[in-house]
C-alpha cells in the first residue's frame, strides 16, 4: 500500500513539474544582457592613419521613448500569443560594454580624460522572437545617434547608425537573444567608426 502511495505521489510530482515547464515556455521572456565575443574576430573597421593613437572618451545612454525601459521587444509562443521581452539589467550599460570592447578590438584607443568625447544615444531597439515549428527566428532592429564633441563641449560631428540582424536559434533562448542583439549593435558600431565624416573630424583635432 505504501508503495502505491509513493508511486502516486511521484507521478503527481512529475505532472506538476511538467505543467510548470509548460508554463515556463509562455509568459514574459526575461533575459540578462551580457557580452560575449563573436566567434569570428575579423574586423571590418578601417581607421585612417594615426587615428588609433588619438584617444576618445566613449559613452552610451538609453534614449528610447518607452514607458517601461526594461521592455526591449516581443516573443510569440506555440499558440502565437505575443509576450513582452524584457531585460533584468541595464540596457545602456550593456550597450556601452559592447562599444568599449568592440572599439578595443578594432584598435580604437579610449581614455576617460581624452580631449574628444564620442557619445551615443540608443534611440531605437526592437527584438522580435518569432516562434517556428522547430526553434525560433530572432531579429533585432536598432539605431544609435552619435555626436563628437571637444573638451569645451563644441560639436564637431554628429550622425546616426542602424543595426539589423536576423538569426535562427532555440525557442526562448537568452543566449540566442544576446547574440543577435550583440551582432546588430556591432554592425552599427562598425558603420560608426568607418564613417568618413567622423574620421575627418576626429583627425583634425589634437
By percentage, how much of the chain surpasses pLDDT 70?
86
Residue-averaged pLDDT of the chain: 88
Structural domains of the chain, count: 1
* CA neighbor of 164 nearest in space, from 127, 193, 122, 195: 127
* Model confidence pLDDT, tens digit, residues 149-170: 999 999 999 999 999 999 999 9
Residues 6+ apart with CB under 8 A from 108: 45, 47, 51, 52, 56, 193
DSSP-based three-state secondary structure for 117: strand
Residue 9 lies in a domain: no
Residue 20 lies in a domain: no
Q: Which domain holds residue 78?
A: 29-204
The pLDDT score that the predictor gives to residue 151 is 93
By percentage, how much of the chain surpasses pLDDT 90?
76
Detail the DSSP E strand segments found in 20-102: 29-31, 57-62, 71-76, 82-87
The pLDDT score that the predictor gives to residue 39 is 83
pLDDT at 132 over 60: yes
Residue 180 lies in a domain: yes
Residue 142 lies in a domain: yes
What CATH number is associated with residue 136? 3.40.50.10610
Residue 190 lies in a domain: yes
pLDDT at 8 over 50: no
pLDDT at 67 over 90: no
DSSP-based three-state secondary structure for 200: helix
More confident residue, 19 or 148: 148
pLDDT at 16 over 80: no
The pLDDT score that the predictor gives to residue 7 is 39
* Model confidence pLDDT, tens digit, residues 87-113: 999 999 999 999 999 999 999 999 999
* CA neighbor of 30 nearest in space, from 130, 173, 180: 173
Query: pTM of the prediction?
Result: 0.84
Average pLDDT of the segment spanning 178-186: 97
* Model confidence pLDDT, tens digit, residues 26-46: 799 999 999 998 887 667 899
CA distance 138 to 128: 6
Amino acid at each position: 500500500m505504501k508503495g502505491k502511495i509513493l508511486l502516486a505521489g511521484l507521478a503527481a510530482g512529475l505532472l506538476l513539474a511538467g505543467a510548470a515547464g509548460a508554463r515556463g515556455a509562455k509568459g514574459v521572456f526575461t533575459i540578462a544582457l551580457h557580452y560575449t565575443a563573436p566567434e569570428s574576430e575579423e574586423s571590418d573597421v578601417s581607421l585612417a592613419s594615426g587615428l588609433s593613437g588619438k584617444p576618445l572618451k566613449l559613452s552610451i545612454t538609453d534614449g528610447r521613448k518607452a514607458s517601461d525601459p526594461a521592455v526591449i521587444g516581443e516573443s510569440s509562443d506555440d499558440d502565437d500569443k505575443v509576450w513582452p521581452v524584457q531585460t533584468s539589467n541595464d540596457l545602456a550599460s550593456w550597450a556601452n560594454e559592447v562599444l568599449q570592447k568592440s572599439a578595443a578590438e578594432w584598435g580604437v584607443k579610449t581614455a576617460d580624460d581624452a580631449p574628444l568625447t564620442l557619445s551615443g544615444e540608443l534611440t531605437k531597439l526592437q527584438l522580435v522572437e518569432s516562434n517556428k515549428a522547430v526553434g525560433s527566428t530572432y531579429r533585432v532592429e536598432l539605431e544609435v545617434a552619435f555626436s563628437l564633441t571637444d573638451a569645451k563641449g563644441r560639436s564637431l560631428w554628429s550622425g546616426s547608425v542602424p543595426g539589423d540582424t536576423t538569426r535562427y536559434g532555440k525557442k526562448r533562448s537568452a543566449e540566442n537573444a544576446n547574440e543577435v542583439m550583440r551582432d546588430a549593435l556591432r554592425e552599427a558600431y562598425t558603420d560608426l567608426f568607418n564613417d568618413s565624416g567622423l574620421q575627418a573630424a576626429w583627425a583634425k583635432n589634437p
